[in-house]
């Protein structure tokens, strides 16, 4: 699945008849796969085409099922899914920070795409923390958001090519 743009005003939650797509208290767009009825309204409403429909049961090679991540729910056929930037990893980081009674440190949350990007082209952090790397990048002269004119306020920023 393509990454969800984590909009502040997401159209996908407005059209879901069963409330499978929602915004949590942190402002992240989540999805309850067990609640999804597969009507695909959210797919149509998302201008970023970030959601995909699970048409077929996945086929795994022998022994691959032992490698599944226990922190991630396996989706069944007939539901819409999306990338959530490894929200399960964010929950673990939050739990650790809560146990240690401290805020989440900048750069502590690392989703799989960032961990595996060979060019270090992906950054995550708190956009509201003025000292964070992502805040500085998002407020730099090269930062822009895709389809910003739609008024959805996506939280994903891109950096324009540096002019030399």
* 50 vs 161, higher pLDDT: 50
What is the total residue count of the chain? 164
Residues 97-138 have pLDDT tens digits of 999 999 999 999 999 889 998 988 889 888 888 999 999 999
Distance of CA 57 to the CA centre of its chain: 23
Q: In 3-state terms, the chain is what percent helix, strand and coil (to 5)?
A: 25, 10, 65
CA distance 35 to 18: 7
* 139 vs 3 pLDDT, higher one: 139
Q: Is the pTM of this model over 0.85?
A: no
Beta strand pairing call for 158-159 and 80-82 = unpaired
pLDDT digits (tens, 9 = 90+) for 25-37: 878 898 888 899 9
Q: What is the pLDDT of residue 69?
A: 76
- The average pLDDT across 69-94 equals 84
Question: What's the mean per-residue pLDDT of the chain?
Answer: 88
């Amino acid at each position: 699945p393509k990454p969800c743009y984590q909009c502040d005003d997401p159209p996908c939650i407005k059209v879901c008849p069963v409330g499978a797509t929602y915004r949590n208290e942190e402002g992240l767009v989540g999805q309850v796969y067990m609640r999804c009825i597969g009507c695909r309204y959210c797919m149509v409403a998302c201008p970023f085409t970030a959601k995909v429909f699970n048409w077929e049961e996945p086929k795994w090679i022998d022994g691959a099922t032992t490698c599944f991540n226990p922190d991630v729910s396996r989706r069944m056929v007939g539901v819409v899914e999306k990338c959530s930037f490894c929200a399960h990893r964010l929950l673990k980081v939050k739990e650790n920070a809560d146990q240690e009674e401290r805020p989440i440190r900048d750069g502590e949350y690392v989703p799989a795409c960032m961990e595996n990007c060979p060019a270090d082209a992906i950054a995550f952090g708190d956009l509201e923390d003025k000292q964070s790397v992502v805040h500085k990048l998002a407020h730099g002269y090269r930062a822009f958001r895709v389809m910003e004119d739609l008024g959805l306020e996506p939280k994903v920023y891109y950096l324009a090519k540096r002019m030399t």
